[in-house]
Structure 1
Amino acid sequence: MSITLSHAASIAKAQYEDIRKSFNTEAVSFCAHYHERSGLPSEIPAHYHEYIELIYVIEGTFVATVSGRDFVLSGGDLLIVNANEPHSFYRKAESKFICLQFDPFLLFSSIRTSFEARFIMPFIISCSSPQRVVKKAELDTTSIPGLIQNVQNEYSQKDYGYELSVRSDICRIFLWFLRKWRAQGLEMEMKESVRNEDIERLEKVLEYIDQNYMNTVSADKMAKLCNMSYSYFSRFFKASVGRSFSEYLTYVRVTEAEKRLISTGKSISQIAYETGFTNASYFITQFKRYRNMTPKKFKQRLFNEDISLETPDDIEIVSTYASR
Structure 2
Amino acid sequence: MKIFCENTPLTDNDCFVIFSREKSCFDFPLHTHKELELNLVLNGAGASRVIGSHVGTIGDAELVFVNGEIPHAWFTDACCSRCIHEVTLQFSPDLIDDKLLNRNSLTALRQLFEEARRGVLFTEQTAFEVAPALQRIYERGSAGGMQPLLDVLAVLNTLSLSSDRKLLSDLTFAQKKNVSYSQRLETVFTYMNRNFNRQISLRDVAETVNMSEVSFSRFIKKSTGQSFIDTLAEIRLGHVSRMLIDTDMTIAEIAFCCGFNNMANFNRIFKRKKGMPPHQFRTLFVHKKIFV
TM-score, length basis structure 2:
0.48
TM-score, length basis structure 1:
0.44
